[in-house]
């Protein structure tokens, strides 16, 4: 049972780390603010979700696990709001979305 | 592996500090400062000091960052916009170059001396950790940091809170001399952010009470809880749900001073015990919780007032 929990925790943490890495590369490499927000959203939703679930599996008790899992909806709400605010502001100051190198 | 992480963290801290000081765009500098604060909180966590990590993240990075951004906006609104962030005159003459070289040399010498001092530090004569652990049973709480802050060295904490109260007094005294600054309050609030801060308020308040309560047995306590409450107030203010505090009314002044008054009152009542802030062991736990609750309210009001009083909306 413990081995199974450890293994699932490890897999979840690895998947989370992968999403974090992909999101960070996206943040660094994508051409404009809108695409970068798109990359960050993956980190906040799937990356953080997997990491928290992986950590919750290793928690000492249920209360600790639930506290870890509580972080997820809070960050989801905050990051969705902030992402929307940044995109809206970018649009307000007429930042044009990237349309490929030839545009 | 963990050593590599620590090394990266240390390098990141130095790099962020350098960037925060060297970039010419002030907004960029503030953002770097906030990132620096978050990395510093991580460093405290790595040093097994979660209490300081919490305080650093909430007050050092969060509230101070918000204050800096707000000050920047207020000063930009007053002054004509400067082209491409050339706000700081960077000295370029030969003399300035020599000065810079001298400062660099002095910094390197002092840094080397500090490193040497750390390397040759003698072992401490008194093992404070053992003393705290030994006296923890009589302190009324089971978390060593809270025991030190509120019991063994309660007078330190008392004076810390007085310092914050004085900071607020200073702000109130200076504020009257200036015309109200123009704020961005005319811009409509983000509807989504408004909805979020409305829904986040009960969660944040609950978390603050939890952090206060948790302080007796694990990391947490009055300062962290107050920072959460103040952050809630700032959030409600910047989403235009709570207006700026035009003036600090009697109730708010009383609330801001209540923590210190309660602390002083308990200290005065206990003078018969023979030392400042020595609690009778039977009541120590309840007294500490009472003081911490009072401090939470006052510190939250003081920290919130530092933000909400400085921007005067007309």
- At residue B167, does pLDDT exceed 80? yes
Query: What is the C-alpha to C-alpha distance for residues B65 and B55, in angstroms, rounded to an integer?
Result: 13
Query: What is the C-alpha to C-alpha distance for residues B180 and B189, in angstroms, rounded to an integer?
Result: 21
Q: Which residues contact A57 (CB under 8 A, 6 or more apart)?
A: A5, A6, A8, A9, A12, A65
Mean pLDDT of all residues belonging to chain B:
84
Disruptive mutation site among B1, B57, B73, B193 for chain A (greatest number of A CBs within 10 Å)? B193
Tokens of B212: 């206060």
Q: Which of A74, A77, A85 minimises the CB distance to B190?
A: A85
Counting as low any pLDDT under 50, the low residues of chain A are 103
Q: What is the ipTM of this complex?
A: 0.80
Q: Which of B193, B199, B200 minimises the CB distance to A85?
A: B193
Q: Do A84 and B192 touch (CB under 8 A)?
A: yes
Higher per-residue confidence, B177 vs A87? A87
Question: What distances in angstroms separate CA B17 from CA A56, B39, B112, B114, B152, one per listed residue?
Answer: 34, 10, 19, 18, 35
Q: Do A78 and B196 touch (CB under 8 A)?
A: yes
Nearest-5° Cα angle at B248, B68 to B167:
50
Q: At what angle do helices A48-57 and A2-29 cross, to 10 degrees?
A: 160
Q: Do B203 and A78 touch (CB under 8 A)?
A: no
- Residues from chain A that touch B200, judged by Cβ atoms under 8 A, are 74, 77-78
Q: Do A74 and B203 touch (CB under 8 A)?
A: yes
Q: At what angle do helices B2-22 and B26-46 cross, to 10 degrees?
A: 150
Chain A: residue whose CA lies nearest to B207: A67
Q: Do B192 and A77 touch (CB under 8 A)?
A: no
Question: Residues B312, B178: contact at Cβ < 8 Å?
Answer: no
- Residues from chain A that touch B193, judged by Cβ atoms under 8 A, are 81, 85
Query: What is the tens place of the pLDDT at every residue in B9-39?
Result: 999 999 999 999 998 899 999 999 999 999 9
Say if pTM beats, i.e. exceeds, 0.90.
no
Q: What residue segments make up the domains of chain A, in order of their start?
A: 2-92
- State the smallest CA–CA distance between residue B194 and chain A in angstroms: 9
What per-residue confidence (pLDDT) applies to B85? 47
- State the smallest CA–CA distance between residue B209 and chain A in angstroms: 15
Q: What residue segments make up the domains of chain B, in order of their start?
A: 1-78, 140-314
- At residue B235, does pLDDT exceed 50? yes
Q: Do A81 and B192 touch (CB under 8 A)?
A: yes
- Residues from chain B that touch A85, judged by Cβ atoms under 8 A, are 190, 192-193
* Chain A touched by B192 (CB under 8 Å): yes
Higher per-residue confidence, B191 vs B209? B209
Q: Do A77 and B200 touch (CB under 8 A)?
A: yes
- State the smallest CA–CA distance between residue A80 and chain B in angstroms: 9
Number of residue pairs across A and B with CB atoms under 8 Å? 18
What per-residue confidence (pLDDT) applies to B126? 80
């Amino acid at each position: 049972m413990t081995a199974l929990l450890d293994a699932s925790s490890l897999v979840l943490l690895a998947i989370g780390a992968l999403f974090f890495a992909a999101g960070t590369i996206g943040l660094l490499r994508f051409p404009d603010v809108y695409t970068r927000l798109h990359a960050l959203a993956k980190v906040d939703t799937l990356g953080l979700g997997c990491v928290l679930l992986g950590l919750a599996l290793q928690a000492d008790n249920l209360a600790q696990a639930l506290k870890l899992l509580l972080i997820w909806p809070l960050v989801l709400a905050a990051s969705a709001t902030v992402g929307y605010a940044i995109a809206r502001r970018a649009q307000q100051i007429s930042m044009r979305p990237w349309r490929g190198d030839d545009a | 592996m963990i050593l590599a992480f620590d090394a990266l963290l240390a390098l990141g801290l130095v790099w962020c500090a350098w960037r925060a000081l060297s970039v010419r765009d002030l907004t960029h500098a503030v953002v770097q400062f906030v990132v620096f604060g978050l990395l510093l909180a991580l460093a405290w966590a790595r040093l097994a000091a979660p209490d300081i990590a919490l305080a650093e993240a909430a007050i050092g990075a969060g509230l101070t960052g918000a204050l800096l951004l707000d000050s920047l906006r207020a000063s930009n609104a007053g002054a004509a916009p400067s082209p491409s962030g050339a706000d700081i005159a960077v000295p370029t003459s030969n003399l300035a170059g020599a000065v810079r070289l001298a400062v660099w040399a002095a910094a390197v010498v002092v840094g080397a001396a500090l490193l040497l001092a750390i390397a040759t530090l003698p072992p401490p004569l008194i093992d404070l950790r053992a003393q705290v652990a030994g006296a923890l049973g009589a302190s009324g709480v089971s978390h060593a940091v809270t025991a030190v802050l509120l019991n063994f060295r309660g007078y330190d904490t008392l004076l810390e809170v007085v310092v914050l109260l004085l900071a607020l007094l200073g702000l109130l005294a200076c504020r009257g001399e200036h015309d109200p600054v123009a704020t961005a309050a005319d811009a409509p609030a983000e509807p989504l952010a408004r909805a979020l801060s409305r829904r986040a308020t009960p969660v944040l308040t609950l978390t603050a009470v939890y952090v206060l309560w948790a302080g007796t047995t694990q990391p947490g306590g009055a300062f962290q809880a107050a920072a959460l409450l103040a952050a809630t107030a700032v959030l409600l203010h910047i989403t235009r749900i709570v207006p700026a505090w035009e003036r600090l009314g009697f109730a708010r002044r009383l609330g801001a001073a209540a923590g210190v008054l309660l602390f002083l009152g308990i200290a005065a009542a206990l003078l018969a015990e023979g030392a400042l802030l020595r609690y009778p062991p039977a009541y120590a736990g309840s007294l500490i919780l009472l003081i911490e609750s009072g401090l939470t309210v006052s510190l939250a009001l003081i920290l919130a007032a530092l933000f909400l009083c400085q921007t005067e909306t007309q």
